[in-house]
Chain A
Amino acid sequence: MMILTLAGRELRSMFLSPLAWAILAVVQLILGFMFLSQVDTFLQWQAQIAMLDNAPGITEVVVAPLLGNAAIVLLLVVPLLTMRLISEERRNQTLPLLFSAPISMSEIVLGKYLGILSFLLIMVLLIALMPLSLLLGGNLDIGMLAAGLLGLTLMLASFSAIGLYISSLTSHPTVAAITTFGALLLLWILNWASNSAPDGVLAYLSMLQHLQPLLRGVFNSADIAYFLLFIFCFLVLAIRRLDADRLQP
């Protein structure tokens, strides 16, 4: 109940600022362009592809790369959305409103998280409309699309969990944004270091490693668990951080 109140307020304030609209528009434009050029390529090579044994369908050729690209574009965008979650309240000194109200720290953090998550779900929905439009003229591997969208959603949920935590560390939204971006990029490219040992710890920690199977349509519960643990871990850290505001330095 309280969590929903906070989430609703977060979502509304996002749409009150032009930032949310601008981000939705820019992401949609860029992904739309990527989608169309991908469809174009597919149409060009359709004849040749059809000759192959076990030929890849449009879902593999168009949708999987689209969702992969969306993940990279959103890696740039999510820090801009999460940066102000807590740091702006800290900066404007509005946190006492929440701290003096009968709400727990967990409710504050979960409310804010749910707010940002709903915004990102709207974005995923808008992105999903592009591949779904292909249904007008062809067939899609719906299972593969669903797995891909689930992967994208889980990854965005992880992005925003870490963004929320980093936003709780500082009172400067821009610092939160750049730090979140750095952290996300590092997590993304962590598997570069593991070329020598593809099964190493670093490779396992890399987010890309867990997203790619889902984009290929492979639903592996270990990957799902990775994302869920990741989210849980950073939400707990954010709660602890807010609690620490009150405690002894």
Chain B
Amino acid sequence: MDQHTIPLLQVESLARHYGTIKAVNGISFSLKRGEVLGFLGPNGAGKSTTMKMITGNLAPTSGSAIIDGFDILDDPKQAKAALGFLPEQPPLYKELTVDEYLNYAARLNRIAKSTINTAVDNCKQRCGLEQMGRRLIGNLSKGYQQRVGIAQAIIHNPALVLLDEPTVGLDPIQIREIRQLIRELGQSHSVILSTHILPEVQATCDRVQIINQGELVFNDTIENMSERMQTTALLLRFKRPPPTSTILSLAGVQDVESVDKQTRRIHFLAEQDPTEALVNASVSEGWGLFELTPERMSLEEVFVDLTCREPHHDEAVQP
């Protein structure tokens, strides 16, 4: 079989229950090689639990995760060799220097002795740590510690890299640098990135999954997600509002809502923007248009819309 057609990661109805609490409740998805997947969800949605199960840090109650053809439960060593994991709290030994730490990480990941130095140099260079080799990890800033954490995850050049909230607690400049690094990683690795920061997903990912209360509520490409965000409405205010039927007759208009005496909200199809027609009609018919605001659904709203919905009312779920 061509290795590009089989998914790198195949997650099958993965679940983890704590007593009666279902932290993760039957999540299934797959990830292709070279894909950057954003894992989005409010705090406590089950993002970290899912990642811990995929990386073998937590045993699932049921379900399976297959990485590069190896089941994490049946062949943990082979499966773990194919993945790198940065947990929410980077697993750093503060008393070691960056070089010592990466050396240790390289040996833990069974890199041959002769290639350890090259591997360490290589991943330091990729993570921008060239100057930091001899510094103690405990003395580094949070941003650099995060980089060391990422360096640790990619040192053995794994096919799959999982990063759990890699930008939490960083300043805006560090966040930009880390995002840049993640984009670069995406060129040679498959990456799963969990976050609750929405623009981060837009900035770095090919595909987005939204998880809420342990269930997958959305799974689609960034383009489709953006489309979903654009398809919305115009808010118009007229001195002399026309009858609703007149507006409805314009091409592309789907629905008209009267907000108050002068204000109308117009819903339309994404591909048939009626703005120009509306302005022209207003001028020729003398409706007295004095305000026009495009209402774009933000990623936040899509997110809130999906995550605050009643359970089982989920027409948004893609198969």
Q: Please give the residue numbers on chain A whose beta carbons come within 8 Å of chain B beta carbons, in ascending order.
A: 2, 5-6, 9, 13, 16-17, 92-104, 246-249
A-B contact pairs, 29 of them (CB 8 A): A2-B110, A6-B108, A13-B93, A13-B95, A16-B95, A92-B91, A93-B87, A94-B93, A95-B91, A96-B57, A96-B87, A99-B55, A99-B56, A100-B56, A100-B57, A100-B83, A100-B85, A101-B80, A101-B109, A102-B80, A102-B109, A102-B110, A104-B76, A104-B77, A246-B57, A246-B58, A246-B59, A247-B59, A248-B17
B89 at the interface (CB under 8 A from A): yes
CA distance A154 to B87 in the complex (A): 39
B89–A93 contact, CB under 8 A? yes
B76–A102 contact, CB under 8 A? yes
Interface string of B70-91 (1 = CB under 8 A from A): 0000001110110111010101
- Which residues of the partner chain B approach A98 to less than 8 Å between Cβ atoms? 108
A5–B84 contact, CB under 8 A? no
A96–B18 contact, CB under 8 A? no
B81–A97 contact, CB under 8 A? no
The interface centre, meaning the residue of A94, A95, A97, A100 with most chain B CB atoms within 10 A of its CB, is A100
Q: How many A-B residue pairs have CB under 8 A?
A: 70
CA distance A247 to B96 in the complex (A): 31
CA distance A9 to B56 in the complex (A): 23
Closest B residue to A17 by CB, please name it.
Answer: B95
Closest A residue to B55 by CB, please name it.
Answer: A100
Closest A residue to B57 by CB, please name it.
Answer: A99
CA distance A101 to B84 in the complex (A): 8
CA distance A207 to B104 in the complex (A): 37
B105 at the interface (CB under 8 A from A): yes
CA distance A102 to B78 in the complex (A): 7
Closest 10 pairs (CB-CB, A-B): A97-B91, A94-B91, A101-B108, A100-B85, A93-B89, A102-B77, A102-B80, A246-B59, A102-B81, A96-B87
Closest A residue to B88 by CB, please name it.
Answer: A93
CA distance A103 to B76 in the complex (A): 8
CA distance A9 to B95 in the complex (A): 12
Closest A residue to B80 by CB, please name it.
Answer: A102
B231 at the interface (CB under 8 A from A): no
- Which residues of the partner chain A approach B57 to less than 8 Å between Cβ atoms? 96, 99-100, 246
CA distance A5 to B81 in the complex (A): 17
CA distance A92 to B96 in the complex (A): 14
- Which residues of the partner chain B approach A104 to less than 8 Å between Cβ atoms? 76-77
Q: Which of B219-242 contact A (CB under 8 A)?
A: none
The interface centre, meaning the residue of B18, B19, B58, B152 with most chain A CB atoms within 10 A of its CB, is B58
B105–A5 contact, CB under 8 A? no
B80–A100 contact, CB under 8 A? yes
- Which residues of the partner chain B approach A99 to less than 8 Å between Cβ atoms? 55-57
CA distance A2 to B56 in the complex (A): 18
Selected from B92, B107, B109, the residue in CB contact (under 8 A) with A94 is B92
CB distance from A106 to the nearest CB of B (A): 12
CA distance A97 to B86 in the complex (A): 8
A97–B108 contact, CB under 8 A? yes
- Which residues of the partner chain B approach A247 to less than 8 Å between Cβ atoms? 59
- Which residues of the partner chain A approach B76 to less than 8 Å between Cβ atoms? 102, 104
Closest B residue to A111 by CB, please name it.
Answer: B108
CA distance A179 to B17 in the complex (A): 32
- Which residues of the partner chain A approach B19 to less than 8 Å between Cβ atoms? 249
B275 at the interface (CB under 8 A from A): no
CA distance A162 to B57 in the complex (A): 25
B61 at the interface (CB under 8 A from A): yes
Given A13-B95, A93-B87, A97-B108, A248–B80 Cβ distance below 8 Å?
no
Closest A residue to B82 by CB, please name it.
Answer: A102
